[in-house]
Structure formats: C-alpha cells, structure tokens
Amino acid sequence: MTEDPSDWRAEIVMDYEDVKRLYSLLLYTEQMWPGAPARPYEEQEFIKHMKNVMFSMIADYTFHYG
C-alpha cells in the first residue's frame, strides 16, 4: 500500500497564548535563518507562511475579543 504523504493531514489545538508564543518563535527563526544553502530555501518560505497564519489567528482573536 503506497500512500502519498501530501494526502496526510493533522490538526492542533492551541490557546491564544500558545499562538502568540509560536508567532514569536517564528519571528525569531525568520530573523536568525542562516539562508540557503545552509538551510533549504523552502524552509524560509514555510516559516513566512506559518508566521502569516499565526498573525491571522492573533488578528482574528483581537477582532473578536480584543
């Protein structure tokens, strides 16, 4: 049985403080990222993507509860 790993999905549940912590870690990681070829270029794009996802969550929380 051969399955395509890109078909696999996972979900995670985090509270607001955890989202802010992860956002902060992503900001730091992006600032300290050594660049290619030391690290894969795709990694930088993933960091940027996840940082944007976390920021969207923070903005949504602020809009509804801030």
Is the per-residue pLDDT at 6 higher than 90? Answer: no
Mean per-residue pLDDT, 2-20:
92
**What is the C-alpha separation between 13 and 25, in angstroms, rounded?**
17
pLDDT digits (tens, 9 = 90+) for 28-56: 999 999 999 999 999 999 999 999 999 99
Domain borders along the chain are: 14-65
